[in-house]
Amino acid sequence: MGESIRIGVLGASGYTGADMVRLAARHPRIEIAALTANTHAGKQMAEVFPHLGVLDLPTLQNWEEVDWGTVDAIVCGLPHGTTQDITKQILAAHPRTRIIDMSADFRLRNTSVYASAYGQDHRAPEIQPEAVYGLSEHYRAEIAGARLVACPGCYPTAVLTALLPIVAAGIVDATDLIIDAKSGVSGAGRGLKQNTLFCEAGEGLSPYSIGTHRHAPEIEQEITRAAGEAVTVNFTPHLVPMSRGELVTCYVKLTNGASPADVREALRRRYAEEPFVHVLPEGGVPATQAVRGSNHVMVGVFPDRIPGRAIVIGALDNLVKGSAGQALQNLNLAFGIEETEGLMQLALFP
Amino acid sequence: MGESIRIGVLGASGYTGADMVRLAARHPRIEIAALTANTHAGKQMAEVFPHLGVLDLPTLQNWEEVDWGTVDAIVCGLPHGTTQDITKQILAAHPRTRIIDMSADFRLRNTSVYASAYGQDHRAPEIQPEAVYGLSEHYRAEIAGARLVACPGCYPTAVLTALLPIVAAGIVDATDLIIDAKSGVSGAGRGLKQNTLFCEAGEGLSPYSIGTHRHAPEIEQEITRAAGEAVTVNFTPHLVPMSRGELVTCYVKLTNGASPADVREALRRRYAEEPFVHVLPEGGVPATQAVRGSNHVMVGVFPDRIPGRAIVIGALDNLVKGSAGQALQNLNLAFGIEETEGLMQLALFP
Amino acid sequence: MGESIRIGVLGASGYTGADMVRLAARHPRIEIAALTANTHAGKQMAEVFPHLGVLDLPTLQNWEEVDWGTVDAIVCGLPHGTTQDITKQILAAHPRTRIIDMSADFRLRNTSVYASAYGQDHRAPEIQPEAVYGLSEHYRAEIAGARLVACPGCYPTAVLTALLPIVAAGIVDATDLIIDAKSGVSGAGRGLKQNTLFCEAGEGLSPYSIGTHRHAPEIEQEITRAAGEAVTVNFTPHLVPMSRGELVTCYVKLTNGASPADVREALRRRYAEEPFVHVLPEGGVPATQAVRGSNHVMVGVFPDRIPGRAIVIGALDNLVKGSAGQALQNLNLAFGIEETEGLMQLALFP
Amino acid sequence: MGESIRIGVLGASGYTGADMVRLAARHPRIEIAALTANTHAGKQMAEVFPHLGVLDLPTLQNWEEVDWGTVDAIVCGLPHGTTQDITKQILAAHPRTRIIDMSADFRLRNTSVYASAYGQDHRAPEIQPEAVYGLSEHYRAEIAGARLVACPGCYPTAVLTALLPIVAAGIVDATDLIIDAKSGVSGAGRGLKQNTLFCEAGEGLSPYSIGTHRHAPEIEQEITRAAGEAVTVNFTPHLVPMSRGELVTCYVKLTNGASPADVREALRRRYAEEPFVHVLPEGGVPATQAVRGSNHVMVGVFPDRIPGRAIVIGALDNLVKGSAGQALQNLNLAFGIEETEGLMQLALFP
């Protein structure tokens, strides 16, 4: 084994920050050197996340108090908007620090798309060009050398894993993609909102942000790239009464004479060597239960009753492959560590 | 008030049967005269459904033991397949008894479609022609005079309420309907199946019967009728970790220059006088939480990111408007009782 | 039928307020004349509680704006502490208005116990003496004539229903009462708190307020009265991942040679004529599923493995019999309406 | 590292069997050599447990087909009753094979207590004497040398961890132990039962097996041993709408002048060096959320409102420390492997 990578986690009091701690704490090459959470500075993680109370962790600090020169990498789990300023300042002071960003701040290459989607101007547009979009299986080479990795949103990770190879192969019509997405409640974070109270989200199902969700432009950015033409997609998320898990049901129109079996085969070939992407055999049905707590993605392909169409379904854990797990995968890539290190935990079922 | 209608409930040990008892027991014009459940014959309902233990109800019987000549109407909550024989025998012996059937046995007008969807020949094809499809808001006149009402499936009720008027109006393309459906677990009934165990269905989401669900031909039958041409629809159901509730997200292509607002307006006009169908104003989001335990359906219309398309969403309680509630609504219609009688219970939230 | 009772609901944006609206809207003798919710003044209830959107209700107002002289009764669902001032002011201005208070403000006869339990001085101690403790089955006569009814807490309703008769009968040792209580999350209200988020309360169980819950002094007040001696009880609540429902498991030491069967018999005799309290036969197990959404309480008695002890279990819906339902029952009593009016809804299961 | 231990898992299609596979598959010293599941023989684990589909595992077999001479240890996850015969046969044929039994068959030292609790005679009474009760922290030395380890039930593990040291220390009255227990639904196994259906167990809470649960004699066996006198305990389990997790709230009477702080201190001292038992500081509240998926137990001690009493609360994951995790811990002990090997996974929250 090589030496330890010292990391700091920005925003350790959120769900993605905590899941990064959960994974990193058991990673043989990582040392958790700093944890920040400005509203909880001075507390122990055990107070904020009792399930991490069995660990010996640094006390939570204000991010300004940390000596960032002593860490090799920063994993950022801050809300969007705040990440830009902090990243800019830290990179200015410590140009050799690598930043693995789980927030949305550097995912959109076009900062005017960012401004329109997030309702505020980008505050570090000069850094944006060096940000690599951290969809591990598709940007592996770029991630390896990057100083700033913008990890994809949870929904885009599921959707793009399912669709990018078949859009690129030209066997589905990129202008007719309908994506019905379903997420567990943890996707909304730990902030206090009425709609994520147990009594509001429990025993019920509701769509939200119909046509306006911020992950849609992110999906469109990558689909556009793969398609070679500007595309708009339907993206309709729903809130499901479960904590973890995300499933995307993608309705696609087949082109160039492709069959559903061709779609499945294209995906299998593309991901044959990938440790975390599993294209199921015919009839195999992805379910979030099968990936809960793990970094795995399951993909299944089905014929549609309507001729000439197919259904491509992807399932992942929004906090792992959809956030902290993929961030750790990218951190492994960035530091030349075995990509699966610290990520081989199996799903927890039931 | 008029005199009491004496009813018998066939299959009172299932969820739809029990929900019929729940509603009928508080209906001012109904007397529950007989309850059958062959595997529980001789028991009290309190043993089978403790929540009904506060009622004074007839003992459960074998259906063969009941003197059906003494009841005015039978509500049938048996599994599909068994209903045909029993209906045939009872109607032969008691031609004036009305049957409100919550099972699937008489929903499909074409018995060869039945045979192919349900994997068995229809055993009472000679009765099929007189069965009226019991979508109350769309077949009111026929239901009023019918001896045999085939209540729609839960999914078809949601889908057809959302789509029939706009298909009939020619403002959506009937050949390009994509229906992503989500249901609570009670839709699968009270039978013992591994996938409906708490530990299997809880904290997770999975699609099922993709492209093969038996409600698809039923939906197609009615859409075909409204469209005036034979159509095939996409229908993809998902199992959601909640007991009650169903939500259908329908992706439609607009035709004849219609806008999403036109779609909403067409629905509002069609249902303006309906007590149970609520077309929400712009921005209003249907959610199953808002209809739990009630006979109401909520419908919302949204623009799609893809130009020329719209999203129509319907939500209902699968055991009420999707089954026992609509059956009671039809029973009211059949006997000339005020249609809303016994059905004004508000949704239970949280 | 007599004339309508015009009511106003103070705090209609909380769960207990909303459940009062749900019940009162279908009560044949009640007219909902005013709804207040200061943080939502000017909104429609449909915006705050979509499941009530099918009703035609008054717009939400600030409580100061309502002309309280035009209502016959006020049902108060405000948080504790705020109720005292408002009650005082309204009663001073409108001495003939009746107040049915669902808050905790007037439950404790001794205002110094209030001060210590709620951490603030009582602000209307001069009104306290006329407040009647609204445990309907035990204070029926007093409630009938009362101007101010202090409805019990949800836990005390369950515990006292199960224990008062047997403490009063001297067949259990009032100084050795151990009450393990479990509640759904709605008991914590609709306010934003981290521990009632779906992701925090879901898929887990935790005790809370161990030894310090504010309902303990309330239980002790009534047990002391029944026992004729000052008692302290164990009361240990737990938060359960469900929205509605409360179950109390009471461990009692038998005295005077009583057996568990004697305990059951004493309870059956006491509640034989009560429409809402159901003492189950031997072996009958109370469960919250059987009372969800209803005003019923189920009570069961079991022998303990330890000789000379018994287990008395009560189950109710915390928002109905534990709050809005009992409030409506008291309102019926106060106005000489049939006690069960508007409360005969059966439990919603599943 | 030493060589691999080859294990076979009997009953791999149940929840405890599957959790053993989940843990063992990532254990650096274990090789899964055989998996049996008689009703699923010939299938792949991926068909039976899709979440394990990412592993390369042996095909499921009938247990009679396995060459048990080629494995070093058998972990048995069969239902009680069937284990006795199989164990007897295997040990007769392969006397050097070690058996780690997760079933109930060898937990009760007195086979007549077994017969009375399980309703059938013990079929291998001659082996019973060599079975070691596998409560790892309390029988470590015996487990190390044992050929047959009878892992405790999930409830007994939680209860005994919380109570054994303080009973042994004589600071609580062993004849007055009241144990209110709550479990997630996975404790009932994967068999098809009506009460574990999602719609039955969801959104509700119910006690079960009141006074008659089979874990009570097991708890009494060990408490009796620690107390040095025969004791009977109250043990009242409740079914909670969650998949994993168990919490026991133990009400104890203090003796010999002990205070709640003394109880906490006695527990802290006893478990100070234990990697999996965490006695929380004053005010620390155990919750199942904090141990989900992990082998940790959390214990908290609280004063009672009734003087001279205390409340001791334990929380664990019933499938891990309550079953497969403790079995693996015992397997580590039996083979001289570091006790924590393969068990350091942190809890999955949310």
| Nearest chain C residue (CA) to A239 | C198
As a CATH number, domain A155-317 is 3.30.360.10
| Mean pLDDT of all residues in C82-93 | 94
Kindly state the helix (H) or strand (E) to which residue C148 belongs, with its residue range: strand C148-150
Cα dihedral D229, D230, D236, D237 sign: positive
* Residue with the larger pLDDT of the pair D2 and B100: B100
Q: How confident is the model at residue C3 (pLDDT cuts 50, 70, 90)?
A: confident
Do the Cβ atoms of D236 and C311 come within 8 Å?
yes
CA distance A106 to chain B (A): 23
Tell me D305's DSSP state: S
User: Mutating which of C183, C197, C239 best tests the A interface, going by the most A Cβ atoms within 10 A?
Assistant: C197
User: Mutating which of D26, D27, D30, D51 best tests the A interface, going by the most A Cβ atoms within 10 A?
Assistant: D51
Q: Are B74 and B17 in contact (CB under 8 A)?
A: no
The amino acid occupying position C91 is L
Beta bridge partners of D247: D182, D315
- Report the candidate in C205, C167, C151, C169 with the shortest Cα–Cα distance to residue C320: C151
Q: Return phi, psi of residue D309, to 5°.
A: -130, 160
Say yes or no: D242 contacts chain B, CB-CB below 8 A: yes
CA dihedral B55, B60, B66, B71 (to 10 degrees): 20
Cα–Cα distance for residue pair D282/D261, rounded to 1 Å: 8
pLDDT over 70 at B1, yes or no: no
Q: Are B240 and A205 in contact (CB under 8 A)?
A: yes
Other beta carbons less than 10 A from residue C320's beta carbon: 32
Residues in chain B closer than 8 A to A311 (CB atoms): 210-211, 234, 236
Looking at every residue in chain B, the average pLDDT score rounds to 97
The amino acid occupying position B195 is N
Cα–Cα distance for residue pair C151/C143, rounded to 1 Å: 10
Say yes or no: A60 contacts chain D, CB-CB below 8 A: no
On whether the C5-151+321-334 domain is CATH 3.90.320.10, my answer is no
Question: Exposed/middle/buried for C123, CB within 10 Å: 0-12, 13-18, 19+?
Answer: middle
CA distance B311 to chain A (A): 9
CA distance B190 to chain D (A): 8
Q: How confident is the model at residue D1 (pLDDT cuts 50, 70, 90)?
A: low
Please report the pLDDT score of residue D3 as a whole number: 87
Please report the pLDDT score of residue C243 as a whole number: 98
Residues in chain A closer than 8 A to C185 (CB atoms): 197-199, 202
Cα–Cα distance for residue pair D205/B88, rounded to 1 Å: 42
User: Mutating which of B51, B288, B295 best tests the C interface, going by the most C Cβ atoms within 10 A?
Assistant: B51
Do the Cβ atoms of A289 and D22 come within 8 Å?
no
| Nearest chain B residue (CA) to C278 | B54
Summarised one tens digit per residue, pLDDT across range D136-147 is 999 999 999 899
Cα–Cα distance for residue pair B73/A108, rounded to 1 Å: 63
Do the Cβ atoms of A290 and D50 come within 8 Å?
yes
Say yes or no: A195 contacts chain B, CB-CB below 8 A: no
Of C76, C154, C199, C250, the catalytic one is C154
Instruction: Please state the separation of Cα A306 from the chain's center in Å.
Output: 32
Q: Are C13 and C190 in contact (CB under 8 A)?
A: yes
Of D151, D154, D199, D250, the catalytic one is D154
Q: Among C200, C204, C245, whose Cβ lies nearest the Cβ of D288? A: C204
Low-confidence ranges of chain A (pLDDT < 50): none
Q: Are C162 and C226 in contact (CB under 8 A)?
A: no
Q: Among B198, B242, B243, whose Cβ lies nearest the Cβ of D196? A: B198
Please report the pLDDT score of residue A228 as a whole number: 97
Superfamily for D5-152+321-334?
A: NAD(P)-binding Rossmann-like Domain (3.40.50.720)
Total residue count of chain B as it appears in this document: 350
Please report the pLDDT score of residue B3 as a whole number: 87
Tokens of D319: 């499938």
CA distance C53 to chain B (A): 9
Residues in chain D closer than 8 A to B190 (CB atoms): 194, 197, 199
Cα–Cα distance for residue pair D47/D50, rounded to 1 Å: 6
E-assigned strands of chain D? 5-10, 30-36, 60-61, 73-76, 98-101, 131-133, 148-150, 178-183, 206-207, 234-239, 246-253, 277-279, 297-303, 309-316
Q: How confident is the model at residue B312 (pLDDT cuts 50, 70, 90)?
A: very high
As a CATH number, domain D155-318 is 3.30.360.10
Q: Are B161 and B297 in contact (CB under 8 A)?
A: yes
User: Mutating which of C180, C194, C253, C259 best tests the D interface, going by the most D Cβ atoms within 10 A?
Assistant: C180
E-assigned strands of A118-239? 131-133, 148-150, 178-183, 206-207, 234-239
Kindly state the helix (H) or strand (E) to which residue D91 belongs, with its residue range: helix D82-93
pLDDT over 60 at C108, yes or no: yes
Cα–Cα distance for residue pair D120/D188, rounded to 1 Å: 20
Do the Cβ atoms of A289 and D350 come within 8 Å?
no
CA distance B268 to chain C (A): 14
Instruction: For chain D, list the contacting chains (3+ Cβ pairs, <8 Å).
Output: A, B, C
Q: How confident is the model at residue B133 (pLDDT cuts 50, 70, 90)?
A: very high
Q: Among B204, B309, B350, whose Cβ lies nearest the Cβ of A288? A: B204
Summarised one tens digit per residue, pLDDT across range C188-242 is 999 999 999 999 999 999 999 999 999 999 999 999 999 999 999 999 999 999 9
- Report the candidate in B78, B101, B71, B63 with the shortest Cα–Cα distance to residue B13: B78
CA distance D73 to chain A (A): 23
Cα–Cα distance for residue pair D166/D253, rounded to 1 Å: 11
Cα–Cα distance for residue pair B93/C192, rounded to 1 Å: 61
Summarised one tens digit per residue, pLDDT across range C308-345 is 999 999 999 999 999 999 999 999 999 999 999 999 99
Cα–Cα distance for residue pair A291/A343, rounded to 1 Å: 12
Say yes or no: C253 contacts chain D, CB-CB below 8 A: no
Residues 200-219 of C with CB under 8 A from A: 200-203
Q: Among D236, D306, D313, whose Cβ lies nearest the Cβ of C233? A: D306
Summarised one tens digit per residue, pLDDT across range D235-273 is 999 999 999 999 999 999 999 999 999 999 999 999 999
| Nearest chain C residue (CA) to B19 | C349
Looking at every residue in chain D, the average pLDDT score rounds to 97
Do the Cβ atoms of C199 and A185 come within 8 Å?
yes
Cα–Cα distance for residue pair B6/B71, rounded to 1 Å: 5
Say yes or no: A151 contacts chain D, CB-CB below 8 A: no
What's the order of all strands across the beta sheet hosting B246-253? B206-207, B234-239, B178-183, B246-253, B309-316, B297-303, B277-279
Cα–Cα distance for residue pair B330/B332, rounded to 1 Å: 5
Q: Are D5 and D73 in contact (CB under 8 A)?
A: yes
Question: Exposed/middle/buried for A123, CB within 10 Å: 0-12, 13-18, 19+?
Answer: middle
Residues in chain D closer than 8 A to A294 (CB atoms): 51, 54
| Mean pLDDT of all residues in D311-320 | 98
Cα–Cα distance for residue pair B137/B157, rounded to 1 Å: 10
Kindly state the helix (H) or strand (E) to which residue B148 belongs, with its residue range: strand B148-150
Instruction: For chain A, list the contacting chains (3+ Cβ pairs, <8 Å).
Output: B, C, D
Sequence spans of domains, chain B: 5-152+321-334, 155-317
**Equal CATH topology for A5-152+321-334 and A155-317:** no
Tokens of B123: 């055993």
Question: Exposed/middle/buried for A52, CB within 10 Å: 0-12, 13-18, 19+?
Answer: buried
CA dihedral B186, B189, B195, B198 (to 10 degrees): 50
Say yes or no: B345 contacts chain C, CB-CB below 8 A: yes
Reply yes or no on whether C154 is catalytic: yes
Please report the pLDDT score of residue A3 as a whole number: 87
Q: Among C15, C192, C203, whose Cβ lies nearest the Cβ of A243? A: C203
Do the Cβ atoms of B201 and D198 come within 8 Å?
yes
Q: What angle in degrees, to the nearest 10, is found between the helix axes of B325-334 and B15-24? A: 50
Tell me A110's DSSP state: S
Cα–Cα distance for residue pair A259/A176, rounded to 1 Å: 16
Residues in chain C closer than 8 A to B348 (CB atoms): 22, 51, 244, 292-293, 348
| Nearest chain A residue (CA) to C239 | A198
CA dihedral C289, C290, C295, C299 (to 10 degrees): -110
Residues in chain C closer than 8 A to D184 (CB atoms): 203, 205
Instruction: Please state the separation of Cα B124 from the chain's center in Å.
Output: 21
Question: Exposed/middle/buried for C28, CB within 10 Å: 0-12, 13-18, 19+?
Answer: exposed
| Nearest chain A residue (CA) to C244 | A199
pLDDT over 90 at B176, yes or no: yes
